[in-house]
Amino acid sequence: MKYDVSSADEQTRLGGIRYLTDTMEKVHLMEGKIISGVSYAGWATPQNLDYNKPTAFDNSVKSMKELMKTAEKYGIIYGVEAVNRFEGAVINTAK
């Protein structure tokens, strides 16, 4: 989970922001208008015992607020995909 924007490790979280910013810049260069998926957290359900979902959610929101500046700059719609609990742990419902 090298680019996990929900990570408690600040360097990992910031690396994820840089990676997704770069991705959106490339989407913009290709005249794309949408990015979507499970980019608000690392893929898969964490297996470590010290995982804290509320903290991961807060870190994800903090990161997404930063990323939305780039999305707005380039006119990109940023979709968020809710996935089941076996594929991710941060957003599991559309609620």
* 41-50 per-position pLDDT tens digit: 887 777 766 6
Q: What percent of the chain lies above the pLDDT cut of 90?
A: 66
pLDDT score at 48: 67
pLDDT of amino acid 77: 97
User: Is the pTM value of this prediction over 0.85?
Assistant: yes
91 assigned to some structural domain? no
List the domain range (segments joined by +) for residue 65.
10-80
Distance CA 74, CA 25 (A): 8
State the alpha helices, DSSP H only, in 1-95: 10-29, 53-74
- Report how many domains make up the chain: 1
Specify if 61 maps to a domain: yes
Report the C-alpha gap between 74 and 27 in whole angstroms.
9
| In a domain? residue 93 | no
* Exposure of 17 in the CB half-sphere (CA atoms within 13 A): 20
Whether residue 33 is contained in a domain is answered as: yes
